[in-house]
Amino acid sequence: MLPVAIPGLATALALILAYGNVNFLRQSYGFILIGHILFTLPFMVRTVCSAFQRPDLLAIEEAARTLGASFTQRFLGVLVPAIFPSILAGILMVFTLSIGEFNLTWMLHTPLTRTLPVGLADSYASMRIEVGSAYTLIFILVILPILWVLQGVANWVQNRYGN
């Protein structure tokens, strides 16, 4: 549970100290993406690991093993479909957390890698309310459809696989 307690600023500072001198990485959006993956990975791991620890899943996997299924067949044909709703729930949670994690993005951005939340904060800090309002509208128009689609897929999987 400890990685969940580490704030985004600490993750960003660690990345800057460790890889800040790697110019091609530091000046790309990949650096921000790596930061968000490191920050949200514990949430995804906790969600998926708890799904793997269900006793009924162990029995189903053991039955597939006794019937001669290989590891790949058991993993892709039995385990992944059984925990697919948990995987989607983790994706939805990670995406939502990543969108809301401003501090990490603020620390990792450069003038070459300006993101929408950073532009929004800059516009409000410089008292450009009209620009901030436009950024807010763009942010909402981009994020809401993605969240609706992810939630719809999660509901569909929940109804289909029922977990």
pLDDT in tens, 96-133: 888 878 888 888 888 888 888 888 888 888 888 888 88
Q: What is the pLDDT of residue 163?
A: 54
pTM for this predicted structure? 0.78
CB neighbours of residue 30 within 10 Å: 12
80: Cβ–Cβ under 8 A, 6 or more apart, which residues?
87
* Tens of pLDDT, residues 39-63: 999 889 998 998 888 888 888 988 9
Rounded Cα distance between 73 and 79, Å, is: 9
Count of domains observed in the chain = 1
CATH number for position 135: 1.10.3720.10
pLDDT for residue 73: 92
CA 82 vs. chain centroid, Å, equals 21
Predicted pLDDT of residue 71: 92
Q: Domain span at residue 10? A: 2-161
Q: Phi/psi of residue 139, each to 5°? A: -60, -45
Asked if residue 72 has pLDDT above 90, the reply is yes
- Work out the end-to-end distance of the chain between its first and last CA atoms, rounded to an integer number of angstroms: 24
Rounded to the nearest integer, the mean pLDDT of the chain is: 85
What is the reported pLDDT for 33? 92
Q: With 70 as the cut, is the pLDDT of residue 3 above it?
A: no
